[in-house]
Structure 1
């Protein structure tokens, strides 16, 4: 085979595996009808320590909710959550994550059916689904496998000697979601951000929703709906994250219509 033929063959193979577009989906209260971090924290503490674990959960959850009520940024609360895992075996927590999912997903209300149906529709059209969450892999990987998500962008607790240190590099919350999504888009140069979708339910999801041309709100948070409705108004311009994604991938958002497409309304 000549060099040219080899290159052409490689290009065709690459094109065959290139997704038509990407779909970024928040998890808690967007894909599943609960907060995975709290549900799993309670499950694994009670599973291992019984009544003492239940008491430990109430103390930890109460402290985290107190911080949030006092106005602590979600990124700070996210970091505080993972400090509860300091010293725990990463492999042991992963195994408990699988056990938690098997039990939790048996509840018919665990998954939000309309979101699952949307993801199924996108995958049938050749899209790749990417879960984006401040939760962590022990909770998220079983969920991703169940819904056919190709990637998980999540908070990654640091591990040393097989055990969690209690620290994280970057919480995938708020601006952390934007950064993670932009990195994922950069890894798919054949995919245009204006063609991509994102699903979220909370104001903290807006930085992620801004990165794509087709943001979608899940649930009834009026602030999220108002924000995206304003983005769709004539003359609103490009969603800032989407324009940045287009620019960073060498696209001229004006000549390619990115500005218009990035402001498409919710369906």
Structure 2
């Protein structure tokens, strides 16, 4: 009898060559009519938090404060516009990591994305690469608008290991039969929660640990150039477009249809 196997992938820096959160924020602010320096100002604030040692969970929360008051449907539509622009330009995906994902998919493994990003960004990406599930950070939405807060802690660190265990249990899979891919120290709990793992990119400490544990090593890839600024105004895309990807938000196992 074949045993169910899940392949867990971090997204930013693992499957992608750049951080989707920031690529999308630049696109979103431009589409909303902000000047380029506004993105630079907000990005610098988050970078300064990281440089003084603010935990990644707190900087993740600070990121979502950028969307306070934004309409959820508008954000989802702009995220689809953004991802379409990334595909047109090329270079968003790490080819080696994407090949590994396709190998798992072809072998019949269930593809699960586990990311500190959020559903609006991840839904079109997951559809494009053929992922089966997405476990992600859950921004709070009230009356159709982002509040700037989160429903629960972001999908970072220990939350990723919890997602591995919950997803494996949901599919009656043994975590030791599963595999995880990541690029950052914050992915380590997820990498340690599965029977085998792979490290993507050049993090020296993580790669040294991977060698000691006989984990697979995959190269990183350079990030693409910034996208051209979009025109400000309404998005032509329909945010209610349905998808076949199962979206799980943080540790909540509520099955939704990707918007």
Q: Is the 8 A contact 2:114 2:136 kept in 1?
A: yes
Asked whether 1:47 is paired with 2:38, we answer no
Q: Which has the larger strand fraction?
A: 2
Asked whether 1:173 is paired with 2:156, we answer yes
Asked whether 1:25 is paired with 2:9, we answer yes
Question: Which residue of the partner structure matches residue 252 of structure 2?
Answer: none
Give, in whole Å, the separation in 1 of the partners of 2:201 and 2:49: 25
Q: Which has the larger helix fraction?
A: 1
Question: Which residue of the partner structure matches residue 266 of structure 1?
Answer: 216
Q: Is the 8 A contact 2:4 2:171 kept in 1?
A: no
Structure with greater contact order relative to length (CA < 8 Å, sep ≥ 6): 2
Q: How much has 1:60 moved relative to structure 2? A: 1.0
Give, in whole Å, the separation in 2 of the partners of 1:27 and 1:101: 14
Question: Which residue of the partner structure matches residue 76 of structure 2?
Answer: 94
Please, which of 171, 184, 208 is the counterpart of residue 188 of structure 1?
171
Q: How much has 1:50 moved relative to structure 2? A: 4.3
- In structure 2, stretches of 5+ residues that fail to align are 218-259
Q: Is the 8 A contact 1:20 1:125 kept in 2?
A: no
Give, in whole Å, the separation in 2 of the partners of 1:19 and 1:133: 25
Runs of 4 or more consecutive aligned structure 1 residues displaced over 4 Å after TM superposition? none
RMSD: 1.6
Give, in whole Å, the separation in 2 of the partners of 1:218 and 1:225: 8
- Partner-residue secondary structure (3-state), 1:173: coil
| CA deviation vs aligned residue, 1:161-217 (integer Å, no higher than 9, x gap) | 00011111120111121122222122122x121111111111111011011011001
Question: Which residue of the partner structure matches residue 35 of structure 1?
Answer: 19
Question: Which residue of the partner structure matches residue 200 of structure 1?
Answer: 182
- Partner-residue secondary structure (3-state), 1:84: helix
Q: Is the 8 A contact 1:105 1:111 kept in 2?
A: no
Cα 1:20/1:179, change in 2 over 3 Å? closer
Question: Which residue of the partner structure matches residue 238 of structure 2?
Answer: none
- In structure 1, stretches of 5+ residues that fail to align are 1-14, 233-264
Question: Which residue of the partner structure matches residue 61 of structure 1?
Answer: 43
| CA deviation vs aligned residue, 1:30-53 (integer Å, no higher than 9, x gap) | 1111111111001110112142xx
Give, in whole Å, the separation in 2 of the partners of 1:228 and 1:188: 27
Give, in whole Å, the separation in 2 of the partners of 1:180 and 1:76: 19
- Partner-residue secondary structure (3-state), 1:65: helix
Question: Which residue of the partner structure matches residue 214 of structure 1?
Answer: 196
Q: Is the 8 A contact 1:101 1:143 kept in 2?
A: yes
Q: Is the 8 A contact 1:209 1:215 kept in 2?
A: yes
Give, in whole Å, the separation in 1 of the partners of 2:18 and 2:216: 23
Q: Is the 8 A contact 2:160 2:190 kept in 1?
A: yes
* TM-score, normalising length: structure 2: 0.80
